[in-house]
């Protein structure tokens, strides 16, 4: 969190103490019985004490105004530059034709059931969505899923397992609120239901991520029903990234990213387990809302 200039509260309190001491000195600097104009040893004359007190009060006021101005400027710079976005991609690859295809794919939603991607699928405003695919949204109570149906998926000639046919669906969405990138499972959009959640070691030093990220593995579910050759290889993966970016003195950001995926062979007629990874807390949290 961005703070005010260092030690300003300590300086403020010490200044008030000095002012109080000088006021006491001023009260005790009355002439002694030893003669007019003679002050007690070690005390300032009354007029000088008043000047010092007024000077200290002026300094305290300047410090206070500076702190308030600094905090106001920081807050304004942060608010005017803040941008919170979600990025979603779903990739389907196959090395052979698929027929009578029905897929139920999990969509990212928050713990209250709100999803940044649902409206895009509802309006079929998804980049890369084939025009002959039928899309219907389902809320199971535990998760939100999109049902995709199509009679055929036919790869172009020359498609092999090493170079499969690839369909990529994607969308970018703005968030009206700051995204919680430290605890997205509980407070942000996530692929649900979440099962078998466990913390794991983050990538090694040569793939080091900024900040102090935390890494997890989990599982969720996908339904697939299609006909294919026995040796068909189909991969389905989805990735969601939540990102906050802003600029105060220099550009800064924080984010989380989660990916789920499954590899299937031959015909499929039921539910499959998708393995998921989560990296949260990436980047800096030196911001007013952090």
290 residues of the chain, pLDDT tens digit each: 444 444 344 544 554 455 445 545 545 544 554 444 445 555 556 677 677 677 777 777 777 666 655 556 556 655 677 899 999 999 999 999 999 999 999 999 998 888 889 989 988 899 999 999 999 999 888 889 999 999 999 999 988 888 999 999 999 999 989 999 999 999 999 999 999 999 999 877 546 788 889 999 999 999 999 999 999 999 999 999 999 999 888 888 999 999 999 999 999 999 999 999 999 999 998 767 65
Structure tokens at 151: 């009679």
pLDDT for 14: 52
Q: Which residues contact 289 (CB under 8 A, 6 or more apart)?
A: 78, 178
Helices (H), 101-180: 118-122
Is the CB of residue 236 less than 8 Å from the CB of residue 104?
no
Is 134 in the same domain as 277? yes
288 falls within a domain: no
Burial tier of 121 (Cβ tally within 10 Å: 0-12, 13-18, 19+): buried
pLDDT for 72: 62
pLDDT for 276: 98
pLDDT for 2: 42
Is the CB of residue 217 less than 8 Å from the CB of residue 185?
no
Is 193 in the same domain as 55? no
Is 144 in the same domain as 261? yes
**Last residue in a domain, options 26, 54, 81:** 81
pLDDT for 225: 98
Is 76 in the same domain as 87? no
Count of domains for the chain: 2
Structural domain range at position 97: 83-283
Is 76 in the same domain as 196? no
Is the CB of residue 151 less than 8 Å from the CB of residue 98?
no
pLDDT for 12: 47
Q: What's the CA gap between 242 and 9, in Å, rounded?
A: 36
pLDDT for 208: 72
251 falls within a domain: yes
Q: Which residues contact 144 (CB under 8 A, 6 or more apart)?
A: 106, 107, 109, 113, 115, 118, 137, 138, 192
Is 200 in the same domain as 225? yes
Neighbours of 103 (CB within 10 A): 22
Is 118 in the same domain as 240? yes
Is 112 in the same domain as 201? yes
pLDDT for 222: 96
Integer-rounded Cα radius of gyration of the chain: 32
Q: What pTM, to 2 d.p., does this model score?
A: 0.75
Q: What's the CA gap between 168 and 152, in Å, rounded?
A: 16
Is 157 in the same domain as 211? yes
| Local structure of residue 248 (DSSP, 8 states) | S
Partnered with residue 137 across adjacent β-strands are 146
Q: What's the CA gap between 159 and 161, in Å, rounded?
A: 7
**Last residue in a domain, options 27, 60, 81:** 81
Is 193 in the same domain as 94? yes
pLDDT for 91: 98
**Last residue in a domain, options 81, 98, 117:** 81
Q: What's the CA gap between 34 and 159, in Å, rounded?
A: 111
68 falls within a domain: yes
290 falls within a domain: no
Is 182 in the same domain as 195? yes
């Amino acid at each position: 969190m961005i703070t005010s200039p260092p030690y300003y509260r300590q300086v403020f309190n010490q200044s008030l103490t000095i002012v109080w001491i000088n006021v006491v000195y001023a009260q005790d600097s009355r002439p002694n019985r030893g003669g007019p104009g003679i002050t007690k040893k070690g005390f300032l004359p009354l007029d000088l004490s008043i000047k010092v007190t007024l000077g200290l009060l002026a300094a305290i006021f300047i410090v206070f105004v500076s702190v308030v101005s600094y905090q106001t400027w920081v807050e304004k710079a942060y608010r005017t530059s803040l941008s919170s976005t979600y990025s979603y991609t779903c990739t389907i690859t196959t090395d052979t034709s698929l027929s009578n295809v029905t897929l139920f794919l999990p969509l990212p939603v928050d713990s209250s059931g709100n999803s940044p991607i649902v409206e895009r699928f509802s309006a079929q405003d998804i980049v890369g969505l084939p025009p002959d695919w039928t899309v219907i949204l389902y809320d199971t109570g535990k998760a939100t899923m999109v049902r995709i149906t199509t009679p055929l998926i036919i790869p172009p000639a020359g498609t092999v397992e090493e170079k499969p046919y690839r369909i990529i669906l994607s969308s970018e969405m703005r968030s009206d609120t700051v995204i919680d990138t430290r605890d997205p499972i509980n407070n942000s959009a996530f692929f649900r239901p979440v099962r078998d959640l466990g913390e794991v070691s983050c990538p090694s030093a040569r793939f080091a991520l900024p900040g102090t990220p935390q890494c997890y593995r989990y599982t969720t579910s996908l339904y697939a029903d299609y006909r294919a050759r026995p040796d068909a290889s189909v991969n389905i993966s989805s990735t969601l990234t939540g990102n906050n970016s802003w600029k105060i003195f220099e550009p800064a950001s924080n984010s989380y990213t989660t990916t789920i995926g499954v590899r299937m062979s031959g015909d499929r007629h039921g539910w499959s387990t998708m393995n998921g990874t989560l990296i949260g807390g990436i980047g800096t949290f030196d911001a007013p809302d952090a």
